[in-house]
């Protein structure tokens, strides 16, 4: 196991009706003048936004609202948010929504005290200050409620890029699984795929002797395999929703990834798809991650065979473990198909002729990237090609 530092300062407030405590927690964490940031309307329609406002009013906390965050959040609204926060002297940002709303809030939080262009933080610069951010989560997916990451798309050029800093880790995250019951099945499945992908990015590692994190990863994956079909069959299943919601956070606070090298190429390769086609991140991952697996499994057949046996319940073929590894990848694709995810470029609405542009935008030139297997631009092109017509379906 490698040396590591684990920092996860977020206070998680989990369970039924917890959104009514938003005001109390903002006060506890020092907020007096809040920007409520939200998305395209689901939080308005469900009455959640009204409950949040009421809860803030009860604690005499003033607020300003900024809605309109789109999935794959854009830089243009971030600039608007920064300007608004400065004009109104905002001292706390409350994100009410999913990963997109939270990431937009984190970008605004870094941008307000910064004199330059906030986009600098998405080109590698580290922030020195940020406004405090907290969340009321409405979808189990990105794990942004517990992460120090934010992903924003620059409209000019469709560039989707990430920033990371402990300064943008949420101060608190309110997580009421009931709020996720209004999610359409497709969006639920996209979230489930993202959660599983966050675990697989960590599971496939070159670090040895990491039994604890291997087993934690497997626990999250097994939970997702059990609970996702249950919520798709019955969207109101509170306990299944609750297990998935906590799995989403556990998958991405890095508790399942500490002490081990991680990969993250599937995410980078997917981000180019959601930037270009504006597809859901989870749907893009359903197409890309198994294609990545198909491309890299020979790097460590036994690790893939281990996943097949422990996660998908395959029989180990001791004479030919490669068959077991391949069976595991097939099981992953079968599962994704069963929950309604696309598996190919065509199903996602992506075009084979765009592959050169996707690789170009990925932007690694002659270099290599990734943890488990270092990939060149040519390798990435080949992974996109596998996603056009996968072999292991």
Interface residues with ligand NZQ (CB under 6 A)? Answer: 39-43, 71-72, 97-101, 103, 138-139, 141-144, 147, 149-151, 179-180, 182-183, 187, 191, 194, 252, 267, 281-282
Q: Which is nearer to ligand NZQ, 350 or 392 (CB)?
A: 350
157 secondary structure, DSSP code: T
String of DSSP letters for 332-385:
HHHHHHHTT---SHHHHT--GGGHHHHHHHH--TT--B-SSS-B-HHHHHHHHH
Give Dmax over CA atoms of the chain in angstroms. Answer: 69
Pure H helices in 164-299: 185-203, 211-233, 238-252, 265-277, 281-296
Residue 265 and residue 377 in contact, taking contact as beta carbons nearer than 8 Å = no
C-alpha span between 105 and 126 (Å, rounded): 17
144 binds, among Zn ion, ligand NZQ, none (CB under 5 to 8 A by kind): ligand NZQ
13 binds, among ligand NZQ, Zn ion, none (CB under 5 to 8 A by kind): none
Other Cβ atoms less than 10 A from the Cβ of 354: the count is 16
370 binds, among ligand NZQ, Zn ion, none (CB under 5 to 8 A by kind): none
Q: Which is nearer to Zn ion, 103 or 194 (CB)?
A: 194
Q: Which is nearer to Zn ion, 201 or 327 (CB)?
A: 201
Residue of 174, 142, 2, 1 lying closest to 73 (CA atoms) = 142
Residue of 73, 82, 71, 67 lying closest to 131 (CA atoms) = 82
191-230 residues in contact with Zn ion (CB under 5 A) are 194
C-alpha span between 365 and 36 (Å, rounded): 40
64 binds, among Zn ion, ligand NZQ, none (CB under 5 to 8 A by kind): none
147 binds, among ligand NZQ, Zn ion, none (CB under 5 to 8 A by kind): ligand NZQ
The number of residues that bind Zn ion (CB under 5 A) is 1
In the bound complex, what is the minimum distance in angstroms from residue 284's beta carbon to ligand NZQ? 9
C-alpha span between 207 and 210 (Å, rounded): 7
139 binds, among Zn ion, ligand NZQ, none (CB under 5 to 8 A by kind): ligand NZQ
Closest residue to Zn ion using C-beta atoms: 194
Q: Which is nearer to ligand NZQ, 8 or 33 (CB)?
A: 8
In the bound complex, what is the minimum distance in angstroms from residue 44's beta carbon to ligand NZQ? 8
**Interface ranges with Zn ion (CB under 5 A):** 194
């Amino acid at each position: 196991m490698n040396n590591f530092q684990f920092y996860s300062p977020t206070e998680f407030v989990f369970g039924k009706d917890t959104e009514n405590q938003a005001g109390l927690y903002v006060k506890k964490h020092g907020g007096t003048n809040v920007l409520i940031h939200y998305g395209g309307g689901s939080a308005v329609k469900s009455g959640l936004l009204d409950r949040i406002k009421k809860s803030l009013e009860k604690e005499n906390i003033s607020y300003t609202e900024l809605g309109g965050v789109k999935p794959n959040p854009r830089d243009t609204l971030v600039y608007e948010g920064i300007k608004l926060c400065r004009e109104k002297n905002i001292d706390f940002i409350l994100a009410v929504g999913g990963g997109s709303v939270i990431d937009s809030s984190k970008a605004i939080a870094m941008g307000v005290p910064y004199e330059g262009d906030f986009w600098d933080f998405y080109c590698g610069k580290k922030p020195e200050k940020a406004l405090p951010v907290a969340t009321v989560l409405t979808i189990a997916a990105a794990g942004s409620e517990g992460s120090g990451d934010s992903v924003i798309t620059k409209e000019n050029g469709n560039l989707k890029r990430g920033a990371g800093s402990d300064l943008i880790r949420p101060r608190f995250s309110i997580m009421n699984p009931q709020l996720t019951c209004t999610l359409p099945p497709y969006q639920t499945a996209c979230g489930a795929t993202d959660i599983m992908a966050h675990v697989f990015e960590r599971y496939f590692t070159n670090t040895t002797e990491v039994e604890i994190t291997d087993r934690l990863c497997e626990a999250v994956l097994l939970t997702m395999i059990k609970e996702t079909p249950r919520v798709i069959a019955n969207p109101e299943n509170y306990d299944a929703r609750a297990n998935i919601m906590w799995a989403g956070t556990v998958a991405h606070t890095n508790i399942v990834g500490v002490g081990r090298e991680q990969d993250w190429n599937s995410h980078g390769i997917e981000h180019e798809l959601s930037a270009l086609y504006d597809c859901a991140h989870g749907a893009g991952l359903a197409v890309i991650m198994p294609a990545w697996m198909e491309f890299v499994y020979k790097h460590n057949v036994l690790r893939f065979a281990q996943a097949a046996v422990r996660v998908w319940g395959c029989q180990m073929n001791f004479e030919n473990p490669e068959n077991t590894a391949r069976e595991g990848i097939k099981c992953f694709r079968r599962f994704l198909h069963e929950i309604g995810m696309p598996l190919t470029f065509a199903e996602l609405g992506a075009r084979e002729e765009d592959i050169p542009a996707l690789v170009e935008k990925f932007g690694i030139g002659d270099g290599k990237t990734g943890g488990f297997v270092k990939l060149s631009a040519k390798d990435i092109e080949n992974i996109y090609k596998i996603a056009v017509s996968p072999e292991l379906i």
